[in-house]
Structure 1
Amino acid sequence: MPALVLLGAQWGDEGKGKATDLLGGSVDYVVRYQGGNNAGHTVVVGDQKYALHLLPSGILSPGCTPVIGNGVVVDPAVLLSELSGLAERGVDTSKLLISGNAHLITPYHTTLDKVSERFLGKRKIGTTGRGIGPAYADKINRVGIRVQDLFDESILRQKVEAALDSKNQVLAKLYNRRAIAVDQVVEELLGYADQLSGYVVDTTLVLNNAIDQGQVVLFEGGQGTLLDVDHGTYPFVTSSNPTAGGACTGTGVGPTKISRVIGILKAYTTRVGAGPFPTELLDEDGEKLRTIGGERGVTTGRDRRCGWFDAVIARYATRVNGLTDFFLTKLDVLTGWERIPVCVAYEIDGKRVEELPYSQTDFHHATPIYETLPGWSEDITQAKTFDDLPKNAQKYVQALEEMSGAPISAIGVGPGRDETIQINSFL
Structure 2
Amino acid sequence: MAKNVVVVGTQWGDEGKGKIVDWLTDHAEGVVRFQGGHNAGHTLVIGKNEYKLNLVPSGIVREGVKCYIGNGVVLDIHHLLSEIETLEAGGIKVRDRLRISPGCPVILGYHVALDRAREAQRAACDKIGTTGKGIGPTYEDKVSRRAVRLYDLYDRERFAAKLRDILEYHNFVLTQHLGADPVDFQTVFDQALADADKIRPMIADVSAELYAVNKSGGSLLFEGAQGTLLDIDHGTYPFVTSSNCVAGQAAAGAGVGPGRLHYVLGITKAYCTRVGAGPFPTELDMETEGAPGNQMSVKGREFGTVTGRKRRCGWLDLAALKRSIIINGVSGLCITKLDVLDGLTELRLCTGYMLDGQRVDLLPMGADEVTHCEPIYETMAGWSGTTYGAQTWDELPPEARAYLHRIEEICEVSIDVVSTGPERDETILRRHPFGA
The TM-score range, normalised by the shorter chain, is over 0.9
Q: Distance in 2 between matches of 1:416 and 1:296?
A: 19
- Deviation track 1:153-173 (CA, whole Å, cap 9, x = no partner) reads 111111111111111111111
- Deviation track 1:385-423 (CA, whole Å, cap 9, x = no partner) reads 101111111111111122223111000111112111111
The answer on whether the counterparts of 2:267 and 2:336 sit within 8 Å (CA) in structure 1 is yes
Structure 1 unaligned residues grouped into runs of 5+? none
Alignment-mate amino acid for residue 401 of structure 2 = Q
Cα distance, 1:360 vs structure 2: 4.0
- Would you say 1:12 and 2:13 are equivalent positions? yes
Partner of 1:315: 322
The answer on whether the counterparts of 1:168 and 1:180 sit within 8 Å (CA) in structure 2 is yes
Q: Distance in 2 between matches of 1:359 and 1:46?
A: 41
Q: Distance in 2 between matches of 1:158 and 1:426?
A: 48
Alignment-mate amino acid for residue 101 of structure 1 = G
- Deviation track 1:239-293 (CA, whole Å, cap 9, x = no partner) reads 0001011111101101111110111000000011111100000243212211000
- Would you say 1:303 and 2:310 are equivalent positions? yes
Q: Distance in 1 between matches of 2:249 and 2:150?
A: 20
Partner of 1:346: 353
- Deviation track 1:64-109 (CA, whole Å, cap 9, x = no partner) reads 1111000000111110000000000001102000000011100110
- Deviation track 1:23-71 (CA, whole Å, cap 9, x = no partner) reads 1111011000000000100111111111111111011111211110000
Q: Helix, strand or coil: the match of 2:259?
A: helix
- Would you say 1:111 and 2:113 are equivalent positions? yes
Cα distance, 1:362 vs structure 2: 2.5
Partner of 1:408: 415
Of 377-386 and 256-265, deviating more is 377-386
Q: Helix, strand or coil: the match of 2:370?
A: helix
Q: Helix, strand or coil: the match of 2:268?
A: strand
The answer on whether the counterparts of 1:143 and 1:162 sit within 8 Å (CA) in structure 2 is no
Alignment-mate amino acid for residue 389 of structure 1 = L
Cα distance, 1:211 vs structure 2: 1.4
Q: TM-score, normalised by structure 2?
A: 0.96
Q: Distance in 2 between matches of 1:292 and 1:12?
A: 18
Question: What is the total number of aligned residue pairs between the two structures?
Answer: 427
Q: Distance in 2 between matches of 1:106 and 1:333?
A: 40
* Equivalent position to 2:202, from 157, 179, 199: 199
* Equivalent position to 2:218, from 215, 220, 226: 215
Query: In the superposition, relative to structure 1, how do residues 176 and 357 fare at CA in structure 2: closer, same or farther (>3 Å)?
Result: closer
Alignment-mate amino acid for residue 56 of structure 1 = P
- Would you say 1:378 and 2:385 are equivalent positions? yes
Partner of 2:59: 58
- Would you say 1:255 and 2:263 are equivalent positions? no
The answer on whether the counterparts of 2:238 and 2:366 sit within 8 Å (CA) in structure 1 is no
Q: Distance in 1 between matches of 2:86 and 2:368?
A: 44
- Would you say 1:426 and 2:433 are equivalent positions? yes
Alignment-mate amino acid for residue 363 of structure 1 = V
- Would you say 1:233 and 2:236 are equivalent positions? yes
1:88-237 correspondence to structure 2 within 5 Å: 88-93=89-94, 94-122=96-124, 123-237=126-240
Of 172-181 and 260-269, deviating more is 172-181
Q: Helix, strand or coil: the match of 2:18?
A: helix
* Equivalent position to 2:342, from 329, 335, 341: 335
Q: Distance in 2 between matches of 1:193 and 1:11?
A: 33
Partner of 1:3: 4
- Deviation track 1:177-208 (CA, whole Å, cap 9, x = no partner) reads 23222222111100112210010011011011
Q: Distance in 1 between matches of 2:182 and 2:134?
A: 17
The answer on whether the counterparts of 1:25 and 1:63 sit within 8 Å (CA) in structure 2 is no
- Deviation track 1:340-368 (CA, whole Å, cap 9, x = no partner) reads 11101111122221112235433110011
Alignment-mate amino acid for residue 223 of structure 1 = Q
Q: Distance in 2 between matches of 1:160 and 1:370?
A: 54
- Deviation track 1:86-136 (CA, whole Å, cap 9, x = no partner) reads 000001102000000011100110011001000112211110000000000
The answer on whether the counterparts of 1:413 and 1:419 sit within 8 Å (CA) in structure 2 is yes
Q: Helix, strand or coil: the match of 1:250?
A: helix
Q: Distance in 2 between matches of 1:360 and 1:281?
A: 18
Give every structure 1 segment of 4 or more consecutive aligned residues whose post-TM-superposition deviation is greater than 4 Å: none
Alignment-mate amino acid for residue 59 of structure 1 = I
RMSD: 1.0
1:353-364 correspondence to structure 2 within 5 Å: 353-358=360-365, 360-364=367-371
Cα distance, 1:139 vs structure 2: 0.5
Q: Distance in 2 between matches of 1:332 and 1:66?
A: 31
The answer on whether the counterparts of 1:28 and 1:64 sit within 8 Å (CA) in structure 2 is yes
Q: Percent identity?
A: 44
The answer on whether the counterparts of 1:29 and 1:65 sit within 8 Å (CA) in structure 2 is yes
Q: Helix, strand or coil: the match of 2:40?
A: coil
The answer on whether the counterparts of 2:66 and 2:97 sit within 8 Å (CA) in structure 1 is yes
Q: Distance in 2 between matches of 1:349 and 1:190?
A: 55
Alignment-mate amino acid for residue 98 of structure 1 = I
